[in-house]
Chain A
Amino acid sequence: MIISVASGKGGTGKTTVAVALALSADEDVQLIDCDVEEPNVHILLRPKIDEERPVYSLVPAILEDRCNLCGKCVDLCQYNALFLSPEKVLFYPELCHSCGLCAIACPEEAITEEKRQIGVVRRGSAQKVDVVYGELNVGEPMAAPLIREVKKEVDREKTVIVDAPPGASCPVVESVYGSDFALLVTEPTPFGLHDLKIAVEVLRTLKIPLGVVVNRAGIGDGKVYEYCGEEGIPIMLEIPFSKEIAELYSRGVPFVTRMEGWREKFRNLLEKIRRCSPA
């Protein structure tokens, strides 16, 4: 089964939870870091990398001697990635979605497509956990194509844990799509609640069953609990606010490996998830 760990906002402890789940499971686990803009799983797990492959996207290359400046490609491109100047068609790669329409449509066959590297996918292992993560090249705007490549590594034979990027837009949808269950990590504060509501909306449109992990429990107020109660969202686990956890995290040490009793709690969490999800 595939379990996504998500949150409306970064900094809530999403990666901590994803890593803790992976390290606590008895069975073989695959941990997939889809936060390709800021991958952090490998910092906590330090996997030995077995394989690294570049990921490319296709972008148009315009053959100027064939182009008669008819402007068709410019009109058709939905993302304003092409612009017609008096001498030639200008291309803005940071806006291109690699859809291929311009190349299909050019009546002069003046557009071919070429590969442009947008990042890498790395695969490795740390203890019993298979780790997959992507890293987007700096300055590269489109995360979704790289996320799709990262997700191709999903091994359905295993328990798969997906660390989704923060937020509620397209990269999040791309990451959690196809999951059997989503764990939303939040803090019991007004910001936490507000971001949680947004994340819940996204997951509900995707019809993925969900539950909440309250991190840094004890700070803030009780509104997150009230909200979950009203919406019928189960609170699957609470992790108290603790300087020790924060300090371990700051050094890149997963807290479940150092603090007694937590592996057990995360194993129970996995059990609960299995019971809650239809698959």
Chain B
Amino acid sequence: MRQITILSGKGGTGKTTLTASFAALAKRLVVADCDVDAPDLHMLLKPTVMRKQEFRGSKVAVMDRSKCIKCGICEERCRFNAINELEIDPILCEGCGVCAYVCPAEAITLNEKVCGYAYVSTIRYGFMSHARLNPGEENSGKLVTLVRHNARQIAQKEKVELILNDGPPGIGCPVIASVTGVDLGVVVVEPTLSGIHDMERALKMLNHFQINPLVCINKYDLNMENTKKIEEFCMDNGIEVAGRISFDPIVTEAMVMGKTVLEYSPNSAVSREIREGWSRILNALGSVDHV
């Protein structure tokens, strides 16, 4: 089983559109939507849910006023400033348990809460593992880990050889959870100064976790000068640029129609460029040592 994660510093629509198109090209695979904060991929892949599971990733402290002797120790010890005037703010509470531990009156308990749901579904191209974190919850790293676990499970059961992870934005916990142990990390970048900055940070992160990187330039014709800069940067660092995809409003049109670009406009330049990119990604995957 091989695993690829598609990343981009800033999320945005380019990456998800690309992931969906790659899924269409791969024909039979498991797609894992690791962007559990704001998942979009299901809008293009239209999964049919087979299994839904609760995700209990964290706890929250609850105070029993009738037992509280108002000593204030909990407030003093909470490092997340979640207790103010002996009132626990469930939004700020990280469920660490310090207050419950230090309370001399045993007035605080930690309660589990449902933080979201994980799904395993069928799609036109195989299977999909996805999830939805309830708004404002944390622990999306853990939920990403669950999504990837579910993806591997269904891949094994159904003998699917490829898992494609659509990564979350950023470089923090959820992203780290989406790249650990994958064979290839594909960084999608737009030719903007901030795009380049984000790409460099994403590549550093991949390097940190010793994951083979590839770069894909989306909307490359928006700024040729920056596209050149990206290509030079990749050349200097020995990173392959797997694809250059042009800017075209049909990408948005396809999205409005709920389709991948390849389905909406198979003969367009964008579709051709996506196909080329995908074949380079598969080539690169073939040359990565399989562990």
Report the separation of the CA atoms of residues A201 and B168 in the bound assembly, to the nearest whole angstrom. 19
Given contacts A101-B101, A169-B138, A190-B255, whether A38 and B9 have CB atoms under 8 Å apart is yes
Report the separation of the CA atoms of residues A249 and B191 in the bound assembly, to the nearest whole angstrom. 10
Q: Is B201 part of the binding interface, using a Cβ–Cβ cutoff of 8 Å?
A: yes
Max chain A Cβ within 10 angstroms of own Cβ: one of B172, B198, B201 = B172
Q: Is B96 part of the binding interface, using a Cβ–Cβ cutoff of 8 Å?
A: yes
List CB contacts (< 8 Å) of B154-200 with chain A: 168-176, 190-195, 197-198
Q: Is A198 part of the binding interface, using a Cβ–Cβ cutoff of 8 Å?
A: yes
Evaluate contact between B252 and A11: CB separation under 8 angstroms. Answer: no
Contact bitstring A166-190, B, C-beta under 8 A = 1, else 0? 1111111100010000000001011
Q: Is A219 part of the binding interface, using a Cβ–Cβ cutoff of 8 Å?
A: yes
Q: Is B37 part of the binding interface, using a Cβ–Cβ cutoff of 8 Å?
A: yes
Chain A residues in 8 Å Cβ range of B171: 37-38, 136, 138-139
Evaluate contact between B201 and A38: CB separation under 8 angstroms. Answer: yes
Kindly provide the distance from the CB of A162 to the nearest chain B CB, expressed in whole angstroms: 16
Name the CB-closest residue of A to B12.
A11
Evaluate contact between B136 and A205: CB separation under 8 angstroms. Answer: yes
Report the separation of the CA atoms of residues A78 and B20 in the bound assembly, to the nearest whole angstrom. 36
Evaluate contact between B38 and A198: CB separation under 8 angstroms. Answer: yes
Number of A-B residue pairs with CB-CB distance less than 8 Å in the complex they form: 197
List CB contacts (< 8 Å) of A54-103 with chain B: 76, 78-79, 94, 97-101
Contact bitstring A1-45, B, C-beta under 8 A = 1, else 0? 000000011111001000000000000000000000110100110
Kindly provide the distance from the CB of B79 to the nearest chain A CB, expressed in whole angstroms: 6
Binds A, one of B23-31, B202-210, B236-244, B266-274: B202-210
Report the separation of the CA atoms of residues A138 and B43 in the bound assembly, to the nearest whole angstrom. 31
Chain A residues in 8 Å Cβ range of B110: 78
Report the separation of the CA atoms of residues A166 and B79 in the bound assembly, to the nearest whole angstrom. 25
Evaluate contact between A202 and B59: CB separation under 8 angstroms. Answer: no
Q: Is B213 part of the binding interface, using a Cβ–Cβ cutoff of 8 Å?
A: no
Report the separation of the CA atoms of residues A99 and B249 in the bound assembly, to the nearest whole angstrom. 48
Q: Is B231 part of the binding interface, using a Cβ–Cβ cutoff of 8 Å?
A: no
**Contacting B140 at CB < 8 Å: which of A97, A98, A169, A195?**
A169
Evaluate contact between A76 and B101: CB separation under 8 angstroms. Answer: yes
Kindly provide the distance from the CB of A258 to the nearest chain B CB, expressed in whole angstroms: 15
Chain B residues in 8 Å Cβ range of A195: 38, 40
Evaluate contact between B43 and A190: CB separation under 8 angstroms. Answer: yes
**Contacting A169 at CB < 8 Å: which of B37, B98, B195?**
B37
Report the separation of the CA atoms of residues A220 and B201 in the bound assembly, to the nearest whole angstrom. 31
Q: Is B92 part of the binding interface, using a Cβ–Cβ cutoff of 8 Å?
A: yes
Chain B residues in 8 Å Cβ range of A250: 190-193, 195, 222-223, 226
Given contacts A15-B194, A101-B101, A169-B140, whether A247 and B222 have CB atoms under 8 Å apart is yes
Q: Is A140 part of the binding interface, using a Cβ–Cβ cutoff of 8 Å?
A: yes
Report the separation of the CA atoms of residues A98 and B77 in the bound assembly, to the nearest whole angstrom. 12
Evaluate contact between A78 and B169: CB separation under 8 angstroms. Answer: no
Q: Is B14 part of the binding interface, using a Cβ–Cβ cutoff of 8 Å?
A: yes
Chain A residues in 8 Å Cβ range of B102: 104
Binds B, one of A120-128, A141-149, A153-161, A262-270: A141-149
Contact bitstring B31-45, A, C-beta under 8 A = 1, else 0? 000000110100100
Chain B residues in 8 Å Cβ range of A166: 10-11, 37-38, 169-170
Given contacts A37-B172, A142-B172, A189-B13, whether A105 and B79 have CB atoms under 8 Å apart is no
Q: Is A276 part of the binding interface, using a Cβ–Cβ cutoff of 8 Å?
A: no
Report the separation of the CA atoms of residues A15 and B77 in the bound assembly, to the nearest whole angstrom. 36
Report the separation of the CA atoms of residues A40 and B194 in the bound assembly, to the nearest whole angstrom. 6
Chain A residues in 8 Å Cβ range of B208: 138-139
Evaluate contact between A105 and B101: CB separation under 8 angstroms. Answer: yes
**Contacting B136 at CB < 8 Å: which of A8, A168, A249?**
A168
Report the separation of the CA atoms of residues A76 and B59 in the bound assembly, to the nearest whole angstrom. 13
Report the separation of the CA atoms of residues A173 and B81 in the bound assembly, to the nearest whole angstrom. 14
Evaluate contact between B249 and A169: CB separation under 8 angstroms. Answer: no
Name the CB-closest residue of A to B173.
A141
Report the separation of the CA atoms of residues A15 and B195 in the bound assembly, to the nearest whole angstrom. 12
Given contacts A99-B79, A104-B102, whether A191 and B40 have CB atoms under 8 Å apart is yes
Evaluate contact between A171 and B172: CB separation under 8 angstroms. Answer: yes
Evaluate contact between B169 and A94: CB separation under 8 angstroms. Answer: no
**Contacting B135 at CB < 8 Å: which of A38, A138, A194, A202?**
A202
Name the CB-closest residue of B to A99.
B96
Q: Is A52 part of the binding interface, using a Cβ–Cβ cutoff of 8 Å?
A: no
Known: A10-B9, A38-B197. 11 other contacts (CB 8 A): A37-B170, A38-B201, A78-B59, A101-B97, A141-B176, A166-B38, A167-B140, A221-B256, A251-B193, A251-B225, A252-B192
B interface residues with partner A (beta carbon < 8 Å): 9-14, 16, 37-38, 40, 43, 58-59, 77, 79-80, 91-92, 94-98, 101-102, 110, 133, 135-141, 168-176, 190-195, 197-198, 201, 204-205, 208-209, 222-223, 225-226, 249, 252, 255-256, 258
The 6 closest A-B pairs by CB, nearest first: A11-B12, A170-B138, A99-B96, A10-B10, A37-B170, A141-B173
